[in-house]
Chains A and B, each alone.
Chain A
Amino acid sequence: MRRLHPATVIVVILPKLREAVQAAVPVLVGSLASNHSVNGEWIGIGIGGLTGFFAIGAYWTTRFDIEDNHVVHRTGWVFRKDRRIPLEQIQNVNLRQNLLERLFRVATVDVETAMGKGRDLKLSVMGFSAAEQFREELLVASHLESSGPAKAEEPLVRLNLHDLTLGAFTENHLGQVIALQFILWGPVIGLVTKLADRLPPDLSAAAYAGAAFLMILGSWLWGVASYFLKYGGFEVRSGEHAFRISYGLLNKVQLVIRPQRIEYLQVMATLPQRWMGRASFHVGTASSFGEAGVLAPVALFVDRDRAYQSAAGVISNLDIAHLNWRPFEPIFYRAAVARALMWLAVFYGIGTLLSRAHMPSIALWIGFGLLAFLILLNLLGLFLSKAENGFAITDDALVVRRGYFHQRISAMPIARMENVAINQPFWWKPYRAVSLTAQAMKHRISAGAVSDKAAEELRQRWVEKIESRERLKAVEVSLDPIGFAGNAKEESQTIAGDATN
C-alpha cells in the first residue's frame, strides 16, 4: 500500500494556522481601534498543538492503493476507516497545488465520485511526481485514458496574457466585494469613527463616504487580482475519453473530466464582455471539483460563438445562437418588484429602530444605503434584461437565459434530469404561470415563471426520453440475454486494474 508524503504534517498544519490568523485579524484591528488588548496566546498554542497532533496522525495512519477495480483508502488509529471506491463510479480526478504545496513539491489528489458531498476521496499530500503517476494509473484503470504514452498535442484552448488581463478586469467581482465588506466593514468604520469625532459634521460624512468608496474599490481590485492569479496559465487539452483542464499561477489546479458525465453547462458573460463579443464556458458534473468550485471552466474569455460551439459539443443539437427563446411570464417581474419593496421596507425599519437606539447613524445609513442600492441595482438589471430573459426547450435540453450585468445561459440535458418541481402560488393561478426547476444529480436549473403549458411540454419530453432509454435497455437485454457484454466490460476492467498493479 502507498503512503502520503512526510510534508503532509506541515502542509496540513499551516493552512489551519493561517485560518486562525485570518479569523483573528478583525479582532486585532478592532482591539487596536478600541485600545483593548487581546491575550490569545494560550488559545493559539491549543489550536496549534491539536492541529499538529491530528496532522501527524493523518500522515502516520493513511494508506491507499488501486486494488481489484477499487481505490482502497485506509486511515485512522483509534477509529479506523476503510473505504473502497469502485473505479467505474469515479467522476473526476483532480490534482491541485497551493503555494505551500508547490514549495514542498507535493500535491493534493481529489478522487471525486457521484456519492455526494463528503464522500469524495482527498489524498493530501503526495509527492508531485507520485501524485501525477497515481492519477495516470487511476485514469487508465477507470478507463478515462488509454495506457499508452501521453500525446504531446497542442491545447484546445489557451488563455493568453492579453485575454487574461481583459477577462480579469471585465469579470463580475460583486461576490468578492460583498464578502470582503463583511470582513472590512466593522474594523474600518471603527477607525473612521475615531477620526470623524475630531472633524466637523460635513467632513465626517465625507470621511465615511470616502471610506466606503475605498473599501468597495479595494475589494473590486482584490477580485481582479484573484481572477488573474486563479486563471493564469489556463489551458484545456483533449484526451482519449476525457479532457484535461489546468490553470493557476499560485495555486495550480488540474481537472480531468469525461464529457459523458457532464450534466449542466453555463455560458457566462458580463456586460463589457458582451460588448466585446466574449464569453466564458463552464460545465458541471455529478460531483463538485473540491476547492476548485462546483463548475469547471472549459473556456475563458473566448469569442462568444466559440463558447456556443463548445456548448453544442456537450449537448447535441444545442444551437444557442438560433434557439427559439420564450419570455418569462410577466408575473415573474411583478413578484421581483414585490420582493424588492419588501426588503427595502425591512431595511428601512431596522435602520430607523437602530438609529433611535443611538447607534452611529451615519455609518448605519451608509451600510443600509449600500444594501438598498444593491437591491435596486438587481431590480434594474432584471428589467433591463427583460427583452433577453427567457427559456427554450429543445429536443435534448432545457436552456435558461437570465441576467443583464452578468448574463448566464444555463442548459441541462433532459436525459440527465432526476426530478422536476413545478410550483404555483395561488395568486399565479389566474395567469396560468408556474415556476419550474429541474434537478440533476448535483445541479439544478430554474426557469423563473413559465406558462403551465410549457411546463407540461418539458414534462412530456422528459418522459419520452425516459421511455426511449428504457426501450433501448430492453432491446440490449433481449440481444444479450446472458449479459455477455457486461461480463466482458468487467473483465477488461480487471485486466486494466491488474496491469496497473
Chain B
Amino acid sequence: MDEIERPDKNVLYVWRAEVLITWGILTAVALGIALFATLTLAAPAWFFAMVAVPVCFAILSLFLLRLRWERWTFQITPYTLEMSHGWLIRHRRIVSRNRIQHVDFESGPIGRKFDLVHVVVHTAGATVGTIPGVKSERAERLRTELMSGPKAL
C-alpha cells in the first residue's frame, strides 16, 4: 500500500495489437475508398495518398505507446485510489475508497495470453477509471483491497 505501481510491461503488446487492428481497419477502408474512386469515378491517382493518413497515425501511435506506459501509474493510499496517465494532457483521478461500489475485470484474447486484465473501478455515480494491464493475481488482490474500504484504522 502507498507504493506507486505501473501496469505490467506486457500491456505494451496488447496496446500494439489494438493500434494495429484499429488503424489496420481504417487503412483498409481508406484503401477501399481510394480504389473505388479511381476505378469507378475516375479520380486521379494521388487519391491513394489518403491511405497514408491512417498509416502515419498508426506509426505515431506505436512510437508513443512506450511513453504512455511510462506515464501510467496508480497508487492505493489508506483512503484513496489515485490514477495518473497521459502525456499531452496529464490526467490524475483520485477516488475515495469508501465510495467504490464494484470492481470489474476485462480482458481480451491477447491480454489473456499474457495473463493480464484491465481493472475497471465503479462508484455509485460513474465508472471512474480503468487500470490497464494488471497481472490477474495482482488484480484479484487489488479488487480485495479496493472493496474492503479504507484501511488506516
Contacts and interface: CB of A to CB of B under 8 A. Distances in A.
The answer to whether A and B interact is yes
A396 B72 CA distance: 32
Contact of B124 (A418, A420, A422, A469): A418
A463 interface: yes
Chain A's interface size range is: 20 to 34
A474 interface: yes
Interface in B51-108: 77, 79-80, 86-99
Contact of B125 (A418, A420, A423, A426): A418
Contacts of A417: 96
A439 B153 contact: no
Interface string B115-147: 000000001111010000000000000000000
Select the residue from A418, A441, A467 with max chain B CB neighbours within 10 A.
A418
Contact of B88 (A418, A426, A459, A469): A426
B152 interface: yes
A420 B98 CA distance: 14
Nearest to B92: A422
Contacts of B91: 421-423
A418 to B, nearest CB: 4
A419 B90 contact: no
Interface string A428-460: 010000000001111000000000000000010
User: Which of B79, B89, B125, B153 has the most A CB atoms < 10 Å from its CB?
Assistant: B125
A426 B124 CA distance: 31
Contact of B128 (A418, A422, A462): A418
B89 A441 contact: no
Contacts of B128: 418-419, 439
A419 B89 CA distance: 19
A421 B153 contact: no
A421 B90 contact: no
Contacts of A399: none
A466 B89 contact: no
Given A418-B95, A419-B123, A441-B124, A470 B153 contact: yes
A439 B121 CA distance: 15
A424 interface: yes
Nearest to A426: B88
A159 B95 CA distance: 41
Interface residues of B, number: 25
Contacts of B153: 470-471, 474
Nearest to B101: A418
Contact of A470 (B77, B88, B126, B150): B150
A470 B79 contact: yes
Contacts of A441: 123-125
Nearest to B93: A421
Given A419-B93, A423-B91, A424-B90, A439 B124 contact: no
A429 B152 CA distance: 33
A476 B124 CA distance: 24
A311 interface: no
A419 B124 CA distance: 11
A354 to B, nearest CB: 22
Contacts of B94: 419-422, 459, 462
A140 interface: no
Contact of B152 (A421, A424, A425, A467): A467
Contacts of A421: 91-94
A470 B99 CA distance: 12
A196 interface: no
A114 B124 contact: yes
A307 interface: no
B150 A442 contact: no
Contacts of A116: 124-125
A420 B79 contact: no
A466 B99 CA distance: 10
Nearest to B80: A463
B107 to A, nearest CB: 24
A439 B89 contact: no
B79 A467 contact: yes
A442 B92 contact: no
Interface of A: 114, 116, 286, 417-426, 429, 439-442, 459, 462-463, 466-467, 469-471, 474
Interface of B: 77, 79-80, 86-99, 123-126, 128, 150, 152-153
4 closest pairs, A vs B, by CB?
A441-B125, A418-B99, A419-B95, A422-B92
6 contacts: A418-B96, A418-B126, A423-B86, A423-B90, A463-B80, A469-B98
Given A418-B96, A463-B77, 18 more contacts: A418-B99, A418-B124, A418-B128, A419-B95, A419-B126, A421-B91, A421-B92, A421-B94, A422-B91, A423-B89, A424-B92, A426-B87, A439-B126, A439-B128, A440-B125, A463-B80, A470-B79, A474-B153
